[in-house]
């Protein structure tokens, strides 16, 4: 019986070590509880109807969330002939901006306190920058809004 106890004790110890080792590996390899969701949405304004650098008459919007974290960036169309500043708005409040030229992408800006109960409306307001084909007023613009969200409902 003593041999059996010693053997059983070693077997239990080995099993515990295997469980601890594989359990730790499984935890290290497990995906986060709320993985990031990425989406791209095309937006454009074909005619700003303005004589200024701010295309404020039309502000295209996209929806994101509900989520704990919402990051947004913008890539200008390849056919942009002048630079522009993309102003990011969450539910009407600006939370970041970046300058882009043709095919360029802004940094990623994060929505402060995105909603966990309803989608957040994200708008992009274009501000023209003189140069290239821009003589002092913005006429048209377009590109892709990139959204990265995590911690929300899918």
Q: Is there a contact between 112 and 118 (Cβ–Cβ < 8 Å)?
A: no
Domain count, the chain: 2
> Are both 109 and 136 inside the same structural domain?
yes
Q: Is there a single domain that holds both residue 51 and residue 81?
A: yes
Considering the domain architecture, whether residues 18 and 89 belong to the same structural domain is answered as no
Check whether residue 22 and residue 83 sit in a common domain: no
- In CATH, what number is assigned to the domain containing residue 115? 2.60.120.380
The percent of residues above 70 in pLDDT, for the chain, comes to 76
Length of the chain, please? 154
Residues 20 and 52 in one domain: no
pLDDT in tens, 45-54: 999 988 899 9
The pLDDT value recorded for residue 29 is: 40
Residues 46 and 91 in one domain: yes
User: Quick check: 92 pLDDT over 50?
Assistant: yes
| pLDDT at 3 exceeding the cut of 80 | no
Mean pLDDT of the chain: 82
- Co-location of 16 and 82 in the same domain: no
Pick the more confident residue, 2 or 76: 76
Per-residue pLDDT tens digits for 5-34: 444 444 334 444 444 444 444 334 444 445
Same domain assignment for residues 90 and 145: yes
Same domain? For 19 and 60 the reply is: no
Phi-psi group of 49: left, alpha or beta (phi > 0 → left; psi -120 to 50 → alpha; rest → beta): left
The domain in which residue 86 lies consists of 37-150
Q: Are 95 and 116 in the same domain?
A: yes
Q: Are residues 54 and 6 in the same domain?
A: no
- 42 and 24 belong to one structural domain: no
């Amino acid at each position: 019986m003593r041999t059996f106890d010693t053997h059983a004790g070693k077997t239990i110890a080995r099993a515990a070590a295997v469980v601890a080792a594989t359990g730790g590996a499984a935890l290290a390899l497990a995906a986060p509880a709320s993985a990031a969701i990425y989406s791209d949405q095309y937006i454009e304004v074909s005619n700003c109807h303005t004589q200024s650098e701010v295309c404020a008459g039309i502000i295209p919007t996209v929806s994101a969330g509900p989520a704990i974290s919402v990051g947004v960036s913008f890539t200008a169309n390849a056919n942009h002939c002048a630079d522009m500043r993309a102003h990011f708005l969450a539910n009407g409040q600006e939370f970041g901006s970046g300058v882009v030229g043709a095919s360029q992408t802004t940094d990623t800006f994060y929505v402060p306190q995105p909603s966990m109960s309803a989608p957040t409306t994200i708008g992009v307001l274009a501000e023209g920058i003189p140069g290239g084909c821009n003589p002092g007023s913005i006429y048209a613009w377009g590109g892709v809004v990139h959204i990265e969200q995590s911690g929300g409902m899918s």
